[in-house]
Amino acid sequence: MVKKLLPIQTCLTGKVTVPGDKSISHRAIIFGALSKGRTTITHFLDGEDCLRTIHAFEALGVTIRQEGQQVIIDSQGADNFIEPTQPIYLGNSGTTARLLLGVLAGLPFHIALYGDESLTRRPMDRVVQPLKQMGAQIDGRENSKYLPISVRGGALQSIAFIPPVKSAQVKSAVLLAGLFGNGNTTVIESTKTRDHTENMIKAFSGNISVQDNSISVPSNQQLIGTTLAVPGDISSAAFFLVAAAMVPNSKVTIEDVGLNPTRTGVIDVLQQMGASIEVVEERYIGGEAVGSITISSSTLHGIEISGEVIPRMIDEIPIVALLATQATGTTIIRDAEELRYKETDRIQTIIDTLTKLGATVEATTDGMIISGESTLSGAQVEAFGDHRIGMMIAVASLITEEEVTLVDPECINISYPTFFEDLSQLITS
Ligand code: S3P
């Protein structure tokens, strides 16, 4: 399918609530399934990736009822899981693949996993390697680097692990496997990554100790089902933050957004670029910070984005790159080589897309250099099956001189099925 997107004639105003956080929604299903008793999740992200996690745990015999944004899980914990009779399909979802591998490593079953074309190209050795070290038997394509992968799990050895990549998925996979270990499993991160797994173990009455960047989880814990409200996804909110920042005379409030400090790099970077942002009503829900963000359009300038902020905004780099094309001066993004291992090689797809729309962007090995004050033009552009590239294109189309034709808009359903409705609700008529 293609979608014709017209430039905006007015501005963006009003309030919006974005769907539930993707990372937290995945983890709520995983920990609900590992726990004894009933778990009730509200504001669950009803997007394709999170549905893959639901299907994976249904294949393990867990009873999960979903009615839109409410999910009810009734489980007796991992001891009652059953061995699936069929391989499990993971679609496009890297988080399902990596976190599920951590769980399967500890189960006495043989289970095969496969994904779509994009997921089949994404590296799995980053989790396979520590899980093998813990004693799981894992075999996959190209020396277990890629899906399809099969796992024969069981009792595991607890380890201390220093991930070679800055990845919350790797950390989470090892911590999940650590629940099936024979002692304390420790992950020591060089740079802090999103800590929703840590928060959720606490929310499900589990034990976990966090000291600076060292996280330890004891094995043989009985997690207990709970009630959880998922905060709005800051990674989805970022598209409206950027839209309001760059379309003149705009003022938008995004309500009930997750403000976990390991995720708020986009707010810090927008502020450094000169955006006018106010965060109010900060409170905690299920161990996660939540609040409302109001942003107004302003004059923006280019900056250097590198170092510890990168893992705190890794999924927001496509949309921030678009914003940088509208700022004065040059924006340099460094230390972001991980972008190459996302749903697409996002360094390449950001550059291909923005260049096609008339911007001047140059790739580097670990980021990009973006020239500001570009006039963007209309074109037919592809999302390459990457939801965040699709939404970046849709936001870019607000300010192009001519119409933009977006090829494959359906890929946005992976993380934000109601994106176009929510965007149009903000466009002042
Ligand atoms: C995620 C972690 C990040 C992020 C992804 C979700 C998670 O990936 O890009 O969208 O839920 O743990 P990495 O851990 O590979 O950096």
Tens of pLDDT, residue by residue over 333-367, are 999 999 999 999 999 999 999 999 999 999 999 99
Q: What is the pLDDT of residue 91?
A: 98
Confidence of residue 94 (pLDDT cuts 50, 70, 90): very high
Closest listed residue to residue 342, CA positions, set 394, 391, 387: 387
Name the CATH superfamily housing domain 22-229.
Enolpyruvate transferase domain (3.65.10.10)
> What order of strands is seen across the sheet that includes strand 404-407?
2-5, 404-407, 380-382
What residue spans in the chain does CATH classification 3.65.10.10 cover? 2-20+231-426, 22-229
362/339 Cα distance (integer angstroms): 15
CB-CB neighbours of 103 under 10 Å: 24
The phi-psi region of residue 307 (left if phi > 0; otherwise alpha if psi is between -120 and 50; otherwise beta) is left
**Is the C-beta atom of 343 inside 6 A of ligand 1?**
no
Catalytic residue among 195, 315, 352, 408: 315
272 is annotated as contributing to ligand binding: no
**Is the C-beta atom of 49 inside 6 A of ligand 1?**
no
Residue 14 above 80 pLDDT?
A: yes
Pairing between strand 227-229 and 36-42? parallel
Give 364's Cβ-side CA count (13 Å radius): 12
Mean pLDDT, the chain, whole residue set:
97
Strand partners, 132: none
Q: What is the pLDDT of residue 240?
A: 98
200/287 Cα distance (integer angstroms): 8
User: Ligand 1: which of 25, 194, 339 to mutate, judged by most atoms within 8 Å of the beta carbon?
Assistant: 194
**What CATH architecture is 2-20+231-426?**
Alpha-beta prism (3.65)
131/152 Cα distance (integer angstroms): 11
Nearest CA to ligand 1 atom 11: 23
**Is the C-beta atom of 27 inside 6 A of ligand 1?**
no
User: Ligand 1: which of 52, 92, 95, 262 to mutate, judged by most atoms within 8 Å of the beta carbon?
Assistant: 95
Q: Which residue blocks in 149-297 are alpha helix, DSSP H?
A: 168-178, 196-203, 234-246, 265-272
Residue 286 above 90 pLDDT?
A: no
133/84 Cα distance (integer angstroms): 24
Nearest CA to ligand 1 atom 10: 315
pTM of the model: 0.98
Asked about 422 being catalytic, the answer comes back as no
Nearest CA to ligand 1 atom 16: 167
User: Which atom of ligand 1 has the smallest separation from the CA of 311?
Assistant: 16
Q: What is the pLDDT of residue 8?
A: 87
Q: What are the CA-CA distances from residue 422 to residues 131, 295, 362, 418, 428 (Å)?
A: 41, 16, 32, 6, 12
Residue 182 above 90 pLDDT?
A: yes
> What order of strands is seen across the sheet that includes strand 110-114?
88-89, 110-114, 146-152, 137-140
> What is the pLDDT averaged over residues 141-165?
98
Distance (Å) from CA 69 to ligand 1 centroid: 22
**Is the C-beta atom of 194 inside 6 A of ligand 1?**
yes
User: Taking the CA atoms of the chain, what radius of gyration do you get in angstroms?
Assistant: 21
Residue 302 tokens, joined: 């280019």
